[in-house]
Structure 1
Amino acid sequence: MEGGEELSEAPESDSGLREPCKVEESFRLHIVTWNVATAEPPDDVSSLLHLNSPKGADLYVIGLQEVNTGPLRIVFDSVFDDPWSHCLMTSLAPRQYIKVASIRMQGLLLLVFSKLKHVPFIRDIRATYTRTGIFRYWGNKGGLSVRMSFYGHTLCFLNCHLAAHMQYALERVDEFEYIMDTQTFDCKKTPKVIDHRLVFWFGDLNFRIQDHGIHFVRSCISSQNYNLLWSKDQLNVMKDKEELLQQFEEGPLEFQPTYKFDLNSDTYDSRVYKSWFGFNSKKRKPAWTDRILWRLRPKDASQDAQEEKRVDADIGKVKQMEEDEEYPLKIRQDLYTSNMEYSISDHKPVIGVFTLELRKMYETPLVQLQPEGDWSADIDAMVVYSPLQPFKASTWDWIGLYKVGFTSVLDYITYTWVKDDEVAFNEELIQVYIGKEEIPVRGGDCVLCYFSSHLNCIIGMSEPFKVHGSKVAIEEGLMPEKLSEFDRAEQARCFWRPNVAQLFFLFTTFNAALKMLEPHLFAFLPV
């Protein structure tokens, strides 16, 4: 074993479970991009997420821009969930979704939620960011990305906030190309964004409608003749010139431009602006600044590629082509629209709903686990797990105990290190110990999850099971309300015992916050 890692082998009897699925299945993806202009989340996000739709999403991807970045808010959000994450998690958790990935850079926030049944098949999650603000040092502009393997197919989601103002179209393209060039992942097959099978690019891209005057633009919007504006949309104009942009597809802009609105209104910008020399009545021209595009990796059927395949000059490329043929992936956009119901920002949210048709590369989780015997806070407990497929195990792997309806990977009641608390081992079954003091006194419906530090995801999940209430606590005469208080205190204690991943996240986030606050530190620190 090197670096605390070893290969966990699956038993031979389970080798048949690794056979790939031969049938294509459909999955629904719901993407939202919204510049929230530092506003707090609305009370109800049902319309934003289409929660009342008969067809529920399998994945939700939410990209926000201009989330509140006040100094106190940044420090607070580095320890607790920010208001937007909390709002979305509490809305989706009762419907059996959990947050599988998130990343934030100042006002940019990217969140990925999955239906619970898909979680063990979302693997190798990585996230990164790129600053394109002042001298490419400041993170008020830039891009966040999350990549993952979804049933073996590599997906990447890129949320961008690019340079503002009409005259900076070329700068926006340069920033996008810079983000695509510099963002890298610790993945051999897909080190760059462009290497992924399917890429979604969205955000406040800030492209404007050029040449046309404000009155013509507003007239076209009023009459819903949006097509008269498409040819002067800067993103469409730049697509004709830039090869990288031509690789991305976008649905027709058959909804009204999403910027710029008066706050708490559906009226386009009507404010009177102040300039250095008095009042300037110039208003912002409406524009489709908020966009969702995608790129499906093309099949390389060129003559050069066929020659390359014959001479086997690039084995990796050949394997990729063969994999694409054996495991097809198709995408269809079902909806591309804005949501006019929300008026807390000067932007309206944009929603894209997609259907992914794919053939699964695997159908079984890497790990199967279950509780052994009855569980309560009166006795020590055992977890039994078995690897169903080979994977790189680590001393940093852990098994978490969660209440049914948990919101994210870190929303555990307690956890145990797999290697430290291992008490029995054979080729097929491994037992892990959990002390009774870690089990909730009141009990409840729970699940167990195996978290792989190498893949940065949950790779196995038990069926829900019952944790019984503590008989000892009842015999000692604890009243229900006191029992409830005791249980809350115990859960709080468990929450504040963070694992290494949490500590690292808190350290890096707090360090980033300090860097942002550095110019202002002397204003309130003693000399």
Structure 2
Amino acid sequence: MTWQRQMSEWMKRRNEGLVLLTKTYQMTNQVTVFVRRKLLPSIRRVRFRFSRNTMGGLTGHKGSIGIKISLYNETSIVFVDSHFVHDVVAYEKRIAQFHSNEVCCFPEDSEVKAIFWLGDLNFRVEKEPNQVMELIRSKNIHSLLDTDEQLKRAIRMKEAFVGFEEQAISFLPTYRFYVGTTEYDLKRTPSWCDRVLYKGSIISPVSYISNQEVLISDHLPVQAVFDIKIANLPITSWDILFEHLPTWYTTVPLIGRFQILNNYWTSRGSYLDWIGVYPSTIDDCTSPLRWVWIATCSEQVFENQRYIVCEFGLLQEGTYRLGYFSHYNNCLIGLSKSFKVIEQPTE
């Protein structure tokens, strides 16, 4: 089972109303974004940017992924996930990588009000492993962060991440461990390679910890919690309005109808748009159970109203929804109410 599938299943079991809004990857790096289901109509557009730094920019094992989520109140939130160059002596290369990857923050967009930059930034502590272990045992890690930690120095000297902040670090270095344990591998100096930085006046930090229960890597993951104050988020209507579906039978191919509103097709429509059948919980917006291209749909006029008709095959018993995924917006712009599919009664 993939990491993304495991995360989705874990979120589903927690039953907190979170759905996978979007996901993307670059080589070995993947980003998944979950949102509360009730917020889906407030999301206007999702965009990606990529920056590659391996083999002269040919591949992206080292590099960054930027995701911009635009809301209907002219506010955008950006997440940048990075894997920077490794090795303690590669400080200048990491600084250069930051500047070349800064484009992933969408700096030209004035609607961006919050940026989170996270990942294996690979900045190191400039001390010998035994010296660091001595300070860890004496619970004196703050002296390392204040004087010998490269990322703190880069921010202090304004060499990188100007304007970004970081919550106070109270956890031990997150690298390097023997896989499956919390024992440091002292072939490398223990360092805080894994970080979460943020930028934006609407962000309020809540917590910042490492997770010592996930031991399948030589890194420990970190997790950060923030509050974001978003004012005047309007109540919006979907660009696609689905006709309510009655209870359907498993023996009848599913047929749905919808209308295109708000001049969507003229301004942003694409024949790469598609309509999907989802479980009613919509656990993953990007992965419907079945889907058809908008280009395969037909038109129908009923009582002077123009409808688009989409046809699917037979469905098993269950509760479903139909969703319209926009190629331009890169997100759902229409969602039907739940409907049931049942076995047809026998006479």
Say whether the fold is shared (TM-score over 0.5). Answer: yes
CA RMSD of aligned residues (A): 2.7
Q: 2:9 matched to which residue of 1?
A: 90
The answer on 1:399 being equivalent to 2:318 is no
1:449 paired residue among 311, 318, 323 = 323
Match of 2:143, SS state, is helix
Name the amino acid aligned to 1:167. V
The answer on 1:421 being equivalent to 2:298 is yes
2:184 paired residue among 261, 268, 283 = 268
Match of 2:99, SS state, is helix
Call closer, same or farther: CA 1:379–1:125 in 2, change over 3 Å.
closer
Deviation at 1:129, TM superposition (A): 1.6
Residues 190-227 of structure 1, C-alpha deviation per residue, up to 9 Å, x if partnerless? 575897221111111111112x4433322222233221
Deviation at 1:176, TM superposition (A): 0.9
**Distance (whole Å) between structure 1 residues aligned to residue 183 and residue 109 of structure 2:** 38
Residues 354-409 of structure 1, C-alpha deviation per residue, up to 9 Å, x if partnerless? 11111144221333324244423436634244626866333433332212234323
Name the amino acid aligned to 1:449. G
The answer on 1:464 being equivalent to 2:342 is no
The answer on 1:371 being equivalent to 2:290 is no
Match of 1:239, SS state, is helix
Superposition TM-score, scaled by structure 1 size: 0.59
**Distance (whole Å) between structure 1 residues aligned to residue 37 and residue 284 of structure 2:** 10
Match of 1:438, SS state, is coil
Q: 8 Å contact 2:21–2:286 — kept in the other structure?
A: no
More helix by share: 1
Deviation at 1:107, TM superposition (A): 1.2
Q: 8 Å contact 2:253–2:313 — kept in the other structure?
A: no
Q: 8 Å contact 1:372–1:384 — kept in the other structure?
A: no
Name the amino acid aligned to 2:194. D
Deviation at 1:99, TM superposition (A): 2.0
**Distance (whole Å) between structure 1 residues aligned to residue 133 and residue 9 of structure 2:** 38
Residues 479-502 of structure 1, C-alpha deviation per residue, up to 9 Å, x if partnerless? xxxxxxxxxxxxxxxxxxxxxxxx
Q: 8 Å contact 1:378–1:470 — kept in the other structure?
A: no
Q: 1:284 matched to which residue of 2?
A: 188
Higher relative contact order (CA 8 A, sep 6+): 1
Q: 1:483 matched to which residue of 2?
A: none
**Distance (whole Å) between structure 2 residues aligned to residue 456 and residue 176 of structure 1:** 27
Identity %: 27
Deviation at 1:424, TM superposition (A): 2.4
Matched residue pairs, number?
Answer: 338
Q: What residue ranges of structure 1 are gaps of 5+ in the alignment?
A: 1-81, 185-189, 271-282, 297-328, 476-527
Call closer, same or farther: CA 1:201–1:443 in 2, change over 3 Å.
same
1:122 paired residue among 18, 43, 63 = 43
Match of 2:229, SS state, is strand
Call closer, same or farther: CA 1:415–1:136 in 2, change over 3 Å.
closer
Q: 8 Å contact 2:253–2:314 — kept in the other structure?
A: no
Q: 8 Å contact 2:179–2:216 — kept in the other structure?
A: yes
Call closer, same or farther: CA 1:434–1:178 in 2, change over 3 Å.
closer
Match of 2:40, SS state, is helix
Q: 1:207 matched to which residue of 2?
A: 123
Deviation at 1:343, TM superposition (A): 1.7
Q: 8 Å contact 2:80–2:117 — kept in the other structure?
A: yes
Q: 8 Å contact 1:224–1:256 — kept in the other structure?
A: no
Q: 8 Å contact 2:21–2:34 — kept in the other structure?
A: yes
**Distance (whole Å) between structure 2 residues aligned to residue 134 and residue 128 of structure 1:** 19
Q: 8 Å contact 2:42–2:233 — kept in the other structure?
A: no
Match of 2:101, SS state, is helix
Which range moved further: 413-422 or 167-176? Answer: 413-422
Match of 1:359, SS state, is coil
Deviation at 1:414, TM superposition (A): 3.0
Name the amino acid aligned to 1:399. I
Bigger-Rg structure (1/2): 1
1:336 paired residue among 208, 213, 226 = 208
More strand by share: 2
**Distance (whole Å) between structure 1 residues aligned to residue 185 and residue 114 of structure 2:** 36
**Distance (whole Å) between structure 1 residues aligned to residue 303 and residue 78 of structure 2:** 38
